[in-house]
A and B are shown apart, each in its own frame.
Chain A
Amino acid sequence: MVADTAVLQIAPELFPNGIGRYAVGGLLVGLGVVVIYLGTGISAGASTFLESTLSYVSEQSRFQRYVASRDWRLVFTAGIVLGGFLFALTVQSGLLSSSLYQPGTTGQLHQLGGFTFWTTNVQPWRLFLGGTLVGIGTRIGKGCTSGHGVCGVGSASKTSIVGVLTFLAVAIGTAQIVAALGVSP
């Protein structure tokens, strides 16, 4: 990629893993959103799945607002999980390789029947507490990294741009503080 080499020549230390996997992955994430929008006119975000799925098990009025969309949100999420699985079966397992993909050294790789799976080293308490705050925050703040970050920014929504700048700035501050306190990984 021309952009790849140009950026890497100017600031290689900012991109220790290159930019190929990030740029290609981002284009695919955008393409997934476009496929759904093209056929349905829906700009799909990932976090409303949490509330819409809770409508199956809770009568709270807040969740019942999402009854009409809960079936396709379940299908969308199943697609995301299986999309990750498809990636694990092909690229992560070495079945497909590309100069645009750098495997990286984070977490743990495991072999199972010829396939390579990956697990995180980030501690469970961080995942659980962080996940809880993500669950509260995306629902109060009307979106997450896909709803605000991809769909909202893509449609030049001022609300989404402010939302993204807010959570990005707070997340950077939080991650820096947590790292400074010596929590790793």
Chain B
Amino acid sequence: MADRHPLFKPLIFVGGLIFGFGLGFSHMARPEVVLQFLQFEDFGLVFVMFGAAIVSGVAFAVLPRISDRAPLTGDAYERRLKAFDRNVLIGGGIFGVGWGLSGICPGAAYASLGVGNVTILWALAGMFLGAYAQGYWRSRAADAGPAVTGAD
């Protein structure tokens, strides 16, 4: 967007930097460690997800009470809630099989590349292929007519 604040992208970048450093520090960028968690050999990753959710949760709860709008976008501090439908269960199930098989999820895969793990390019190639396959299929479904557009 042309009219965005000049600090918009630098701030997003700094946020990503901290996010990626945290994924490296927590070893979530190591598929082996995620697999050890899923196999009940090391429960440490519980602290990663809940630690992160608690920190973000405090900000999501407090900021809307302090200020109406975010300084760089003018957007309201609101919760962008996603509607529940069976896709959440179907997609979550497919994601779960992939996560359990590979030990890798999108954010951790990007950070894994940063820690030097070139082998992760296999997973990233797979993610783009998978995202393209579902997008191709859903674009066709959406273009086919109103009878199937309810899938989203």
CB distance from B97 to the nearest CB of A (A): 5
For residue A129, which residues in chain B have a CB less than 8 angstroms away from its CB? Answer: 98, 101-102, 126
Q: Are A25 and B12 in contact (CB under 8 A)?
A: no
Q: Residue on A with the closest CB to B151?
A: A140
Given the contacts A41-B76, A122-B31, A185-B35, A87 and B110 also touching, CB distance less than 8 Å: no
Kindly identify which residue among B23, B42, B91 contacts A25, using a CB–CB cutoff of 8 Å: B23
Q: Are A63 and B135 in contact (CB under 8 A)?
A: yes
Q: Are B90 and A157 in contact (CB under 8 A)?
A: no
Kindly identify which residue among B43, B51, B75, B119 contacts A127, using a CB–CB cutoff of 8 Å: B119
CB distance from A33 to the nearest CB of B (A): 4
Kindly identify which residue among B18, B23, B43, B133 contacts A136, using a CB–CB cutoff of 8 Å: B133
CB distance from B19 to the nearest CB of A (A): 3
CB distance from B22 to the nearest CB of A (A): 3
Instruction: Describe A's contact surface by its main secondary structure.
Output: helix
Report the separation of the CA atoms of residues A168 and B96 in the bound assembly, to the nearest whole angstrom.
6
Q: Residue on B with the closest CB to A116?
A: B116
For residue B47, which residues in chain A have a CB less than 8 angstroms away from its CB? Answer: 19, 22-23, 26
Interface residues of A (CB under 8 A from B): 14-19, 21-47, 49-51, 53-54, 58, 60-63, 68, 71-72, 75-88, 91-92, 101, 104, 106-107, 110, 116-122, 124, 126-146, 148-160, 162-164, 166-176, 178-179, 185
Give the B interface residue count (CB, 8 A): 120
Q: Which 10 A-B pairs have the closest CB atoms?
A: A79-B16, A141-B91, A25-B26, A83-B20, A135-B130, A130-B102, A84-B114, A117-B116, A170-B96, A131-B126
What is the total of A-B residue contacts with beta carbons within 8 Å?
551
Interface 1/0s, chain B 124-140, versus A by CB < 8 A? 11111111111110110
Beta-carbon contacts under 8 Å, B1-48 to A = 1, 7-9, 11-33, 35-36, 38-48
For residue A61, which residues in chain B have a CB less than 8 angstroms away from its CB? Answer: 139, 142-143
Interface residues of B (CB under 8 A from A): 1, 7-9, 11-33, 35-36, 38-57, 59-60, 63, 69-73, 75-84, 87-120, 122-136, 138-139, 142-143
For residue A29, which residues in chain B have a CB less than 8 angstroms away from its CB? Answer: 18-19, 22-23, 26, 28, 48, 51-52, 55
For residue B90, which residues in chain A have a CB less than 8 angstroms away from its CB? Answer: 140-141
Kindly identify which residue among B103, B110, B120, B127 contacts A80, using a CB–CB cutoff of 8 Å: B110
Q: Are B98 and A155 in contact (CB under 8 A)?
A: no
Kindly identify which residue among A76, A122, A141 contacts B15, using a CB–CB cutoff of 8 Å: A76
Q: Are A154 and B53 in contact (CB under 8 A)?
A: yes
Given the contacts A17-B42, A145-B108, A178-B101, A79 and B51 also touching, CB distance less than 8 Å: no
Q: Are B14 and A132 in contact (CB under 8 A)?
A: no
Report the separation of the CA atoms of residues A82 and B79 in the bound assembly, to the nearest whole angstrom.
28
Given the contacts A23-B51, A86-B21, A133 and B14 also touching, CB distance less than 8 Å: no
Q: Are A155 and B132 in contact (CB under 8 A)?
A: no
Q: List 14 A-B contacts (CB under 8 A).
A: A22-B27, A28-B26, A30-B56, A31-B18, A33-B19, A41-B77, A46-B110, A75-B13, A79-B12, A86-B17, A87-B25, A106-B30, A122-B31, A136-B95
